Amino acid sequence: MTAIPLKSAPPPWTDRQRFLAACRCEVVDRPPVWLMRQAGRALPEYRQLKEKYTFVQLVQNPELAVEVTLQPVRRFGFDAAILFSDILVIPEALGQKYHFKETGGVQMDFTVRSPADIAALSVERVVERLNYVDRALRLLRRELGDRTALIGFSGSPWTLATFMMEGASVPKYSRALQLFREDPKTYYALAEKLTDAVTVYLQMQIAAGVDAVQLFDSHGGHLDPGEFPEASGRWMKEIIARIRTPAPASSGDLLCAGGAALVPGIPPVIVFSLGTHGNWSDLVGTGASVLGIDWQTSLAEARRQIPERVGLQGNLAPALICESTPEGVAREAHSILESMRGRAGHIFNLGHGLTPGAKLENIAALVDTVKNHR
């Protein structure tokens, strides 16, 4: 009997390959999964480190930041790791220090209010001051190899401005909105500086080997839809355009970092703008490769309205992870997966970040459900 040569099966996807292919809207075996704020907060191994170190110490020490980044990947087997850090490292690198209050929430050393305060922010040293991020990312890239994707991030200029102008977490972020409405020229001066800072920061992360970057526009929904383009969208668009502009030949490592990408060497950009309720055209207009969809919107409906070339990330309600059971979480995750069946470019995530009350068995049930989905 002559043996029929078996056609060799395609090699199984690594988690990193699956994540990158989904960002490019290619067909994959199942959606990749990671969760916003997966690093820290809910994990007992993180809380243990918090007994010895402050949050800022963990963020600024590359070895410890690597450890906290890897903890959720080890425990749950996510397809992607997100750097353990915070959006507030940008204000800090511009000269506005922060810490977290014992009672919860952020406290910055001063507020940015006047044109003089804005003029005093210094973009020149951002990359140097954030060298600890560069070191953490390079260690992570080496540690993760081709197995797991690595995501870098920054706050959007608008969302950073809301924190910088209040100087703390507050119930209502009104000062940036007031400045934008009453004195747009001064707001633009701040947004321009933040755009410059975020651009060089993300370029540094790309050179260090991240596979994708996410812009967190967590306060995008505080704007009226008519205000969104000028206050937030325009600046994210500028950042994305600039990081996609090939660097001059001398900075070759910018071009070959990160492996597969939309344009070789230039990683996908995920834009997550919370509470913008179907304001898709402005978000698509930023040039994002992937849009994060919050839990208040139907993912399937978003898929119908957003061009096929743009991937979608989301969108299980984070409250379910705290309040439901593993069965309840599995049911809801399954329903989201089914609503996206046959649609390429879905990255499973929550519709906003994990909170400290997240139940570990619910996270495990979510990851299992996505991983077993075919």
Q: Where does this chain bind ligand CP3 (CB under 6 A)? A: 36-41, 50, 55, 82, 84-88, 100, 104-106, 153, 169, 216, 218, 353
CB of 202 to ligand CP3, least distance (A): 13
CB of 11 to ligand CP3, least distance (A): 30
The Cα-based distances of 230 to 98, 158, 195, 234 in angstroms read 27, 10, 13, 6
How many angstroms separate the CA atoms of 196 and 90, rounded? 11
CB of 259 to ligand CP3, least distance (A): 21
Name the nearest CA neighbour of 293 among 354, 349, 371. Answer: 349
Nearest to ligand CP3 of 27, 168 (CB atom): 168
Please enumerate in sequence order all residues whose Cβ is within 8 A of that of 288, keeping only pairs 6 or more positions apart, or say none.
215, 236, 240, 269, 270, 271, 310
Name the nearest CA neighbour of 32 among 95, 99, 71, 81. Answer: 81
Nearest to ligand CP3 of 68, 365 (CB atom): 68
CB of 194 to ligand CP3, least distance (A): 14
CB of 104 to ligand CP3, least distance (A): 6
How many angstroms separate the CA atoms of 91 and 157, rounded? 10
CB of 244 to ligand CP3, least distance (A): 22
Nearest to ligand CP3 of 25, 204 (CB atom): 204
Residue nearest ligand CP3 by beta-carbon distance: 40
Give SS3 for 371: helix
Q: What is the CB neighbour count within 10 angstroms for residue 353?
A: 18
Which amino acid appears at position 250 of this protein?
Answer: S
The answer to whether the beta carbons of residues 217 and 272 sit under 8 Å apart is: yes
Nearest to ligand CP3 of 106, 261 (CB atom): 106
Nearest to ligand CP3 of 274, 340 (CB atom): 274
How many angstroms separate the CA atoms of 18 and 36, rounded? 18
CB of 88 to ligand CP3, least distance (A): 6
CB of 157 to ligand CP3, least distance (A): 13
How many angstroms separate the CA atoms of 132 and 205, rounded? 11
Parallel, antiparallel, or unpaired for β 106-108 and 98-100? antiparallel
Q: What is the CB neighbour count within 10 angstroms for residue 238?
A: 19
Helix (H) or strand (E) segment spanning residue 89: helix 89-93
Give SS3 for 312: strand
Nearest to ligand CP3 of 156, 203 (CB atom): 156
Nearest to ligand CP3 of 84, 188 (CB atom): 84
Nearest to ligand CP3 of 265, 268 (CB atom): 268
